[in-house]
Structure 1
Amino acid sequence: MPGENQDASKLTVEEFLHDAAVDNTDIEVFLHALLRLAVHNLSHPDEELLCGITLLRHKKAATVASSSDRAQRVDEIQYDYDDGPCLRAAREGDLVHVADVHEDARWPEYRPRVIEEGIRSILGVPIPIDSGDSAALNLYSNESHRFDEEAIESAQQYARQASRALSLAIRLARHRDAEANLEAALDSRTTVALAIGIIMGQNRCSQDEAFDLLRSASSSRNMKLRDLAADLVTSADPSTEGAHFDR
């Protein structure tokens, strides 16, 4: 973990998260490091908060990191109703504070279920990110009125400091996804080209004719072109002649 040899309380959030982003290429590892710091800085000595991060991508919500199994479970309750304090914080970009779950009339279906989990107060803090997605830091306490003005300001400041590093991590993840997609596309083109070469040799036809044969076979067999090409390349036998595809 970044900063293990240093006192975590002496690190600024930005210093810690910068180290985490540099040292970890997996966004999930990075986010768990973020939560460990959040719990360390925001909990009281006699109570450890539950903490999670909700990320909204393509209108789908998911907890991408949590401080415990219980935190994960509590986060997921709101997804069953597609609404809740932390989802709303992420979607609308505004802080959502539930001082006492028993006294808050919002989310009437969601509320009884978090009460069953022993939750008494909730704080949803939006994490601004510049990727077009949205996120929130989710804090849960077993105590009512747990989040006073000082705690709320600390959480907001933490979210502001964390946002740049979180945006960086998401951009890095997207860049890796794009690289993987490009590599897969290039592999697919290479496989199709090899398959066309095999068909040309076996059928003594032109490149265009070979591609038409491959495409026709793909349609008639209800297979993706790249999958059929991969099968042909894998099973190709140089001694075989006259391979034909049914149109």
Structure 2
Amino acid sequence: MAVGPANNKGPERQGFLLDLVTGAGGDAESLQKLTDAAARWISTTAGTAIECAAVLHRQRSCPATAGSTPDAAGIAASEDQHGDGPTALGSALAAPTVISQAGSRWQAYRRRLLDSGFGSALAVPLELLPGSAGTLVFLGPAHYGFNARVINEAAWFGEVASHSLKLALDVHGVIRAGDNLKQVLESRTSIDVACGVLMAQNRCSYAEAFSKLAGTSRNRNLKVRSVADSILKAMPSGAPGTRFEPPAIA
């Protein structure tokens, strides 16, 4: 996975994106790749080991969390229980925010940071598509303070992370849609073949055959696809192949 030039400088930064798709099987794995890259990048700028936690909120989905280390992952996951940190849905950060001893908003969250061995935190909101919200939290060691240079670098990295994660989420969404369509087509094929068997056996129309399938489905509390599969498996020659394969693109 590309993480940019070693010195975090140079013309390569313009248009730079992280590869959060290769080797990632879904949104959560892309988020994990993001925290790993973020920790490496900001550690280079800070000159010390900085960890990263992240939380991704999406409509109609459970929050996805990740961390560059188990402790960082624990900080991210704790928001499900406490919901009082900068990654909580509704925290509405507008800009990178340092979590410090000053003020009272983050005191409970800060105590959890100290209990996990971290001395400070820098929360960076991610700009994602409507219906999605995410935050990166950079975690510094004990007695570490985020200076202006590191904060500016984290803000720039947040922009890169936003564009990269949006792309990854779009790719995973397309893949899921394709898998769902394939399942629907395979299910439809099984049902159509089973209806053909019933039509031949009972000399009836397709509508009558499907009505028989649907009636058996209701009586046995099974899906229509399951009833169709049982009919096909009972055929003397066994169930015919019904797997849908999309046409090859020349």
TM class, shorter-length: 0.7 to 0.9
Contact 2:128 2:166 in 1 (8 A): yes
Match of 1:79 in 2: 80
Match of 2:179 in 1: 180
In angstroms, what is the RMSD of aligned CA positions?
2.9
Structure that is richer in helix per residue:
1
Unaligned regions of 5+ residues in structure 1, if any?
240-247
Distance 2:132 2:3 in 1: 29
Distance 2:228 2:20 in 1: 40
Distance 2:193 2:91 in 1: 48
Distance 1:121 1:147 in 2: 8
Distance 2:123 2:166 in 1: 18
Match of 1:62 in 2: 64
**After the TM superposition, which residues 7-86 of structure 1 pair with which residues of structure 2 at under 5 Å, given as runs?**
7=6, 9=8, 11-12=12-13, 14-17=15-18, 20=19, 23=22, 26-27=25-26, 30-43=30-43, 44-45=46-47, 47-58=48-59, 60-63=62-65, 65-86=66-87
Match of 1:245 in 2: none
Q: Given the superposition, is the C-alpha separation of residues 31 and 149 from structure 1 closer, same or farther in structure 2, using an over 3 Å criterion?
A: same
TM-score (ref. length: structure 1):
0.79
Distance 1:162 1:195 in 2: 49
Q: Given the superposition, is the C-alpha separation of residues 107 and 40 from structure 1 closer, same or farther in structure 2, using an over 3 Å criterion?
A: closer
Shift of 1:222: 0.7
| Identical-residue share of aligned pairs (%) | 28
Distance 1:76 1:13 in 2: 33
Does 1:171 pair with 2:161? Answer: no
Contact 2:54 2:137 in 1 (8 A): yes
Distance 2:85 2:147 in 1: 20
Shift of 1:126: 0.7
Unaligned regions of 5+ residues in structure 2, if any?
239-250
